[in-house]
């Protein structure tokens, strides 16, 4: 069973629809026992990282998420909350990934939020099996995870090269939305389900 974490951070329906297209069985839950017994866990997310972290903290899910040994995928804000900290909120991150979440700088002719299709580079790891370097995926974000030892894919927006994907042990994260990234995103989700 795949558990989609229910913590008031949006895009649960689009992730659920993507899993349904792949024929995967899922459950939307915040129950610690159900999360710990899942075969895979997806931490979705859109919106404000600070509020998402506060919601996870209020539900006492930090220790539950840290304890997971199955493959875990954080998407967009769901990946950002797994980082060390975020400029978007006062609550410290869960601290799985060795990245800090920063706001894109103001630059002439560069739109923030970074919204739309952009190319992936420096792909590494099983999440990107059968995905070519330069493949385009869909982003919607004003904050980004910095480059770090956990970076498994990069993307550039303006002058900023940032972590488009992260991995540490059984934890994976994508700043982009695989559920909104067409055939490339579907392949990435299939790769996650095959881990």
- E strand segments, the chain: 2-5, 26-29, 40-43, 72-75, 85-86, 100-103, 114-119, 136-141, 143-145, 151-157, 160-168, 171-174
Residues facing 139 on adjacent strands: 116
Query: Buried (b) or exposed (e) across 157-187, using 16+ Cβ within 10 A?
Result: beebbbbbbbbbeebbbbbbbbbbbeebbeb
20 given a catalytic annotation: no
177 is catalytic: yes
Q: Residue 99 and residue 101: Cα distance in Å, rounded?
A: 7
Label residues 119-136 b or e (16+ Cβ within 10 Å = b): ebebbeeebbeebeeebb
Catalytic one among 76, 88, 114, 157? Answer: 76
Q: Is residue 76 flagged as an active site residue?
A: yes
Q: Give the position of tokens 């923030």.
A: 112
Can you count the helices (H) and strands (E) in the chain?
6, 12
Nearby residues of 129 by Cβ (< 8 Å), 6 or more positions away: 187, 191
Q: Which of 48, 141, 157, 177 is catalytic?
A: 177
Which are the catalytic amino acids? 76, 177, 179
């Amino acid at each position: 069973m795949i558990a989609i974490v229910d913590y008031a951070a949006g895009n649960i329906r689009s992730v659920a629809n993507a899993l349904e297209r792949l024929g995967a069985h899922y459950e939307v839950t915040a129950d610690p026992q159900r999360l710990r017994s899942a075969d895979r866990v997806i931490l979705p997310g859109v919106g404000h990282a600070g509020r998402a972290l506060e919601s996870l903290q209020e539900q006492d899910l930090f220790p539950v998420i840290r304890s997971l040994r199955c493959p875990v995928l954080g998407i967009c804000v769901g990946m950002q909350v797994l980082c060390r900290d975020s400029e978007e909120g006062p609550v410290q991150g869960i601290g799985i990934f060795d990245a800090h979440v920063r706001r894109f700088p103001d630059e002439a002719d560069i739109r923030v939020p970074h919204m739309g299709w952009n190319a992936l580079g420096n792909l590494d790891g099983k999440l990107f099996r059968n995905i070519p370097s330069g493949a385009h995926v869909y982003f919607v974000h004003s904050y980004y995870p910095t480059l770090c030892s956990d970076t498994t894919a990069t993307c550039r927006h303006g002058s900023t090269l940032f972590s488009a994907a992260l991995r540490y042990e059984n934890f994976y994260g994508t700043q982009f939305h695989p559920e909104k990234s067409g055939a490339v995103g579907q392949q990435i989700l299939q790769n996650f389900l095959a881990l």
